[in-house]
Structure 1
Amino acid sequence: MVRRAYLMASLEQYLALIISFAVLASVARILTPGEIGEAVTGLAIAVVAFSTREFVTAEFLIQRHAIDRAALSTSLTLQVLCSTVVALTLGLASGVIARFYGTPDLSFFLLLAAIAGLTEAVAQPVVAILRRNLSFGALAGIRTGVSLVSGATTILLAALGFGPISFAWGMLAGAVMLAGLSLTFSPVPIRQFLRPNLTRWREVLAFGVFKGAALMVERIQETVPQLILGRLTSMTSVALYNRSNALCGVPDRIIMSAFYSMAFPALANSVREGQDIEKTYFGVLAYLSVLYWPAALMVGLMAPEIVLIVLGPQWEAAVPVVRILSLSAVFWVPAIVTGPLLLALGHNRDSFLASLISRVLAASILCAASLYGVIAMALSQFIALPLQMVVAFAFVHRHVPFSFRALISALAPSAVVTLFALAGPIALLALNEQPQSALLTFAASAVLSAIGWLAGLHITRHPFLVETQIAFRLGRNRFDQLRRFLAAGA
């Protein structure tokens, strides 16, 4: 069940990534970097504001042994109440924020974002129930529909000359779609949600206080340095860092986000069944590292080609930023596992403290570096991410004791596989110093990397080799079924 859940979550991420790339590539060629920077600033402010909603997160439903009507209605009531307060506050402050950044259009942008955040509140309990049931197929359908509507709206309005506000309208269209699809495909009758109820508010707050605080710190770390960058330098600098971060985030979107969406319910299930948590933890690290490390480093290696293909020649200044961020990303793997693992073990407080300490350290470093420009902000990740890694290992070790030797043994095969995956592309770039086609060079490097990766899995006998063999057998069986079907039809 866990393997199927991961596959469905991965499918959702692949579809979302394709849509995101279409939006990224299209809008980068329609709007100027300054206009994109303004949109990024508006979205960042809205994200920070609505992250406060996690203090009353609907995810407390995932951890409950049983879901009753009171829990459902309390969850929706608190989500709507909190979202209303945030939306009103954001709307009232929109004018002041717009004047602070010297961009009058930002005021209307934030008003639309406030409405979008309030609209999507009704979907949160349904999404939590679907995650609790490991119904990632349904979630994939819902979120793909949302991404399509949001992306299409953004591209269309940008092409029609709406400028940065296109992103806000896209956000609102996606929120309406999310609310509609969630209510339509809810596994629980909607009438169980509708009556206002606050009887379980203490339970919601007990679960959400740490998660909400942790997410708030995470969002602040992700957005505040960019907000400082936009205020002290220019909106173009914000766009440059944000788009570079988006390109480096592709492995995260494909691998890490898919994992994170099902990690907490899957790990919680492992804890309930009494499985060996240390073995599970090392297994997760091995799987993630062998997927994430080669992908992240390939982004850095192929940065000129990727920037040219996705963003266009006018974004050439993003190449060094992409390379720096992709290299520093190798330290990110342990941090992504810590939160879901500690939550699954029932240590919400430690999950919060781990996130708080690492995020505060990282946010402080990034904010200080943002005073010196985009390159300095990117380089600061070589300090911030290793610190987050150390904090993650320290907190996990408190509840899942492990030796340094065991940790190295779990990660060493992934490092070897990564070297095999990079060998082919490095040789190709060395022999072809002046490639004629960015797309052809990228495609050839990707094929060589995949061949090297598979060879590395076999040579090291990496645990993930089992997954590739299962996928190969499944693909072969489907191919045989298709061949028999065509033969019968003929």
Structure 2
Amino acid sequence: MASLEQYVALLINFAALVIMARILTPGEIGEAVMGLAIAVVAFSAREFVTSEFLIQRRAVDAEVLRTALTLQVAVSAAIAAVLVALSGFVARFYAAPDLSFFLLLAAAAGLAEALAQPVIALLRREMGFGVLACIRTVVSLMTVLTTIALAILGFGPASFAWGMLAGALALAVLAIACSPFPARQTFRPGLEHWREVLAFGLFKGAALVVERIHETVPQLILGRLASMTSVALYNRSNALCGIPDRIIMSAFYSMAFPALASRVREGHDIDKTYLAVLTYLSVLYWPGVALISFLAPSIVEIVLGPQWSQAAPVVRILALAAIFWLPVIVTGPLLLALGRNRDAFLASLISRCLAAGILCAASLYGVTTMAFSQFVSLPLQMLIALVFVHRHVPFSLHGLLAALMPSAIVTGFSLAGPITLLALQGQENGGLPGFCAALLLAGCGWLVGLLATHHPFLAELRILLNAGRDHAHRLRQFLVALGT
């Protein structure tokens, strides 16, 4: 269900990416990216009072939920007030008058979203991924449809902010409706467990703030020193390279912390679990980013349109560098599941600070240099992640290489077909037909690679095939019964 939610959200957001790239200019999208980045950095501070402490708590009652809700709303209100107060200064700093109103709407959206956070944490605690999938799908649709409709009506960059506000309001309403506790019990002030919330959120909040700064500050510098168009090129290139991340990693991350925490509580061998996670993720993620790098010109033309052709080299560089990102995303949820919040914070702090410094320095020299700098920052983050995990999960280098080598071979099989097709075509961009043919060949190569290496992921494919066969059999039985 966690994966299904991510796939639906990916399709919705992908459609929005395609449509908005053709409605707004790169400069207008760049201005919206700046506003969203500022809002994201500001509201990341409320993770210091994160509601996720509810996930690892042995028991949750109405008083605990009231504490989580009170702190979320109070901190979000303070952040929103600061954002509103500074909105005029930010607009003048970037010489973008529309940014002021954009930030006002973003502040309102952040405040509305705070009402939903404790309930979302409760649903994750109970593995209620089906309910979460429904809620987030509705929210994604509300956000995207509002954004597109207002962009068509000529609202420009502000259409993104209006969409964000519509989605936040929908999230708040749906979360309140799905709360396991009556509203009259939870929607009252309460601070009885505030020390517990702060103790849990101290390191997690600091880690998330550092992560958001790493993601957004280089773009903020780029917007000030270069142009909004440069920001849009870098951001949209990252979005295209993030498609495998959204399909595989985001689905993993949404259930990783509660699932790993459950395995730790039950006393499972966490060493084998960690290496198995890397094996399964790498065979999906590595072929995805490698294929995006190889097909970058076709992807940019098909998804964004000809006005974004300058993004193709940036996409190619970023996607290839993303190969080093794999172990990093597993580190946070694993360390949190082990109760090592401090190490999770330190790992994120060290790696993100180094990466942010590298990206900020590279942003002084333009978009392409920022992309190439990922070949320095991502390997550094990977090494730091492995070092911190090794403190508590004593895997061997041989075991790590043995877990990843089959996926590397499968990746090579996946690229063999597209490379052969390119050699036969004699041109890099084969348009939509060439792109579809390359995808088909890559899929066939991937399956051949799985069989050739006897990859552990074959067991998952057999489970899926058996489940599909069972569903088809039940469907046939139902149709026969209906006919008789």
Q: TM-score range by the shorter chain?
A: over 0.9
Contact 2:69 2:115 in 1 (8 A): yes
Q: Which runs of structure 2 are paired with 1:190-229 in the superposition (5 Å)?
A: 190-229=183-222
Structure 2 counterpart of 1:112, from 93, 105, 108: 105
Q: For residues 14-56 of structure 1, give each alpha carbon's deviation from its aligned partner in whole angstroms, at most 9, with x where no partner exists.
A: 1111110111111100111000000000000000000001000
| Aligned residue identity for 2:187 | L
Asked if residue 465 in structure 1 is aligned to residue 458 in structure 2, the reply is: yes
CA shift for structure 1 position 139: 0.5
| Aligned residue identity for 1:151 | V
- C-alpha separation between the residues in 1 aligned to 2:240 and 2:379? 21
CA shift for structure 1 position 434: 3.6
Structure 2 counterpart of 1:62, from 55, 63, 66: 55
Aligned to 2:65: 72
Contact 1:149 1:173 in 2 (8 A): yes
Aligned to 1:432: 425
Residues 486 and 437 of structure 1: is their aligned pair in 2 closer, same or farther, counting only changes over 3 Å?
Answer: farther
Give the 4+ runs in structure 1 shifted more than 4 A: none
Aligned to 2:386: 393
- Gapped regions of structure 1 (runs ≥ 5): 1-7
Q: Which runs of structure 2 are paired with 1:203-352 in the superposition (5 Å)?
A: 203-352=196-345
- C-alpha separation between the residues in 2 aligned to 1:263 and 1:436? 38
- Gapped regions of structure 2 (runs ≥ 5): none
| Aligned residue identity for 1:80 | V
- C-alpha separation between the residues in 1 aligned to 2:430 and 2:290? 21
Asked if residue 11 in structure 1 is aligned to residue 4 in structure 2, the reply is: yes
Contact 1:62 1:131 in 2 (8 A): yes
Aligned to 2:159: 166
Contact 1:72 1:192 in 2 (8 A): no
- C-alpha separation between the residues in 2 aligned to 1:434 and 1:307? 16
Q: What TM-score do you get using the length of structure 2 for normalisation?
A: 0.98
- C-alpha separation between the residues in 2 aligned to 1:402 and 1:487? 53
- C-alpha separation between the residues in 1 aligned to 2:188 and 2:309? 54
Q: CA RMSD in A?
A: 1.0
Q: Which runs of structure 2 are paired with 1:173-184 in the superposition (5 Å)?
A: 173-184=166-177
Q: For residues 210-247 of structure 1, give each alpha carbon's deviation from its aligned partner in whole angstroms, at most 9, with x where no partner exists.
A: 00000000000000000000000000000000000000
- C-alpha separation between the residues in 1 aligned to 2:34 and 2:426? 38
| Aligned residue identity for 2:212 | R
- Bigger mean CA deviation after superposition, 455-464 or 164-173: 455-464
Q: For residues 69-116 of structure 1, give each alpha carbon's deviation from its aligned partner in whole angstroms, at most 9, with x where no partner exists.
A: 221100000000000000000000000000000000000000000000
Aligned to 1:446: 439
- C-alpha separation between the residues in 1 aligned to 2:430 and 2:297? 11
Aligned to 1:3: none
- C-alpha separation between the residues in 1 aligned to 2:432 and 2:180? 44
Residues 188 and 456 of structure 1: is their aligned pair in 2 closer, same or farther, counting only changes over 3 Å?
Answer: farther
Contact 2:298 2:429 in 1 (8 A): no
Q: Which runs of structure 2 are paired with 1:94-173 in the superposition (5 Å)?
A: 94-173=87-166
CA shift for structure 1 position 488: 3.9
Q: For residues 238-258 of structure 1, give each alpha carbon's deviation from its aligned partner in whole angstroms, at most 9, with x where no partner exists.
A: 000000000000000000011
Contact 2:123 2:132 in 1 (8 A): yes
- C-alpha separation between the residues in 1 aligned to 2:166 and 2:188? 26
Aligned to 1:362: 355
Report how many residues are paired: 483
CA shift for structure 1 position 480: 2.3
- C-alpha separation between the residues in 2 aligned to 1:380 and 1:289? 23
Contact 2:5 2:136 in 1 (8 A): yes
Q: For residues 374-393 of structure 1, give each alpha carbon's deviation from its aligned partner in whole angstroms, at most 9, with x where no partner exists.
A: 00000000000000000000
CA shift for structure 1 position 437: 5.3
User: 3-state SS of the aligned residue for 1:116?
Assistant: helix
- C-alpha separation between the residues in 2 aligned to 1:479 and 1:452? 27
Aligned to 2:27: 34
User: 3-state SS of the aligned residue for 1:218?
Assistant: helix
Structure 1 counterpart of 2:365, from 372, 376, 401: 372
Contact 1:435 1:441 in 2 (8 A): no
- C-alpha separation between the residues in 2 aligned to 1:172 and 1:243? 22
Contact 2:297 2:428 in 1 (8 A): no
